[in-house]
Amino acid sequence: MEEKEISQAVIGRLPRYFRYLGELKDQGIERVSSQELSDIMKVTASQIRQDFNNFGGFGQQGYGYNVEYLFQEIGKILGLDKSHNLIIIGAGNLGQALANYGNFERRGFLFMGIFDKNPLLYGRRIRDREVRPMEDMEEYVKSNHIDIAVLTIPKTEAEAVAQRLVRSGIKGIWNFAHVDLNVPEEVQVENVHLSDSLMKLSYNISSFQKNR
């Protein structure tokens, strides 16, 4: 497939397609039309076709798309055909909650270790991995082929830790700290701010009430 620049908006919609296709696959459904996908996902059929056309259209022939093929292809585009080794930095409330969520593994994100700077936490086991000291982080990243680090530490600490991760060869940072990180372009950062989503909810509640 020819490489072309795909907009972040399209990329942002791919995980949702992937999820729904996974559900159709689990139900044993073999083919789906763009109209049926549209009805399930509440996205217009033309949006779906436009999105898929960015990747050559996925060969819709006769009746709809082949669910298994589409699921596999979108998975490949998302890089889910390979597994990713990840570590969590910050074994507090959020870090532990993420570590305890086993479902990421189903998508190939393997929880390999968790680090903290608080000595009181060293050795505590979280899903069979013990909390390790930050001094061990660089060596661990290198020798265990860690490609993703999850940052669940205070924002004041995040930049310095990110720089250490970059020097260790990390490829991606899933950043929960409320700060924009300065990393070189070969390191990908995905910021997650749950409160942004909550504020959007708040906006929708108030705009619905205003318009009644």
Q: How far is the CB of 137 from ligand NAI (least distance, A)?
A: 8
How far is residue 187 from each of residues 95, 112, 133, measured CA to CA in Å? 21, 19, 23
Is position 166 an interface residue for ligand NAI (rule: CB under 6 A)? no
Place of tokens 């779906």: 48
Under rule CB under 6 A, how many of the chain's residues touch ligand NAI?
Answer: 25
Q: Is 154 in the site for ligand NAI (CB under 6 A)?
A: yes
Site string for ligand NAI, 108-147 (x = CB under 6 A): -------xxxx---------------x-------------
Residue choice 90, 146, 147, 148 for contact with ligand NAI (CB under 6 A): 90
Question: Which has the closest alpha carbon to 45: 35, 54, 53?
Answer: 35
CA dihedral 172, 178, 183, 187 (to 10 degrees): 10
Q: Which of 14, 74, 77, 89 binds ligand NAI (CB under 6 A)?
A: 89
Site string for ligand NAI, 22-41 (x = CB under 6 A): --------------------
Q: How many CA atoms lie within 13 A of 58 on its CB side?
A: 26
- Distances from the Cα of 16 to the Cα of 20, 37, 41, 70, 144, angstroms: 6, 11, 8, 13, 30
* Shortest separation between residue 197's beta carbon and ligand NAI, angstroms: 8
Considering only 8, 93, 207, 211, the residue that binds ligand NAI (CB under 6 A) is 93
Stretch that binds ligand NAI, among 31-39, 49-57, 187-195, 202-210 (CB under 6 A): 187-195
152 binds ligand NAI (CB under 6 A): yes
Residues 6+ apart with CB under 8 A from 1: 55, 56
DSSP 8-state secondary structure symbol assigned to residue 42: T
Inter-residue contact 173 to 151 (CB < 8 Å): yes
Under the rule (CB under 6 A), what is the footprint of ligand NAI?
89-95, 115-118, 134, 152-155, 157, 161, 176-178, 192-195
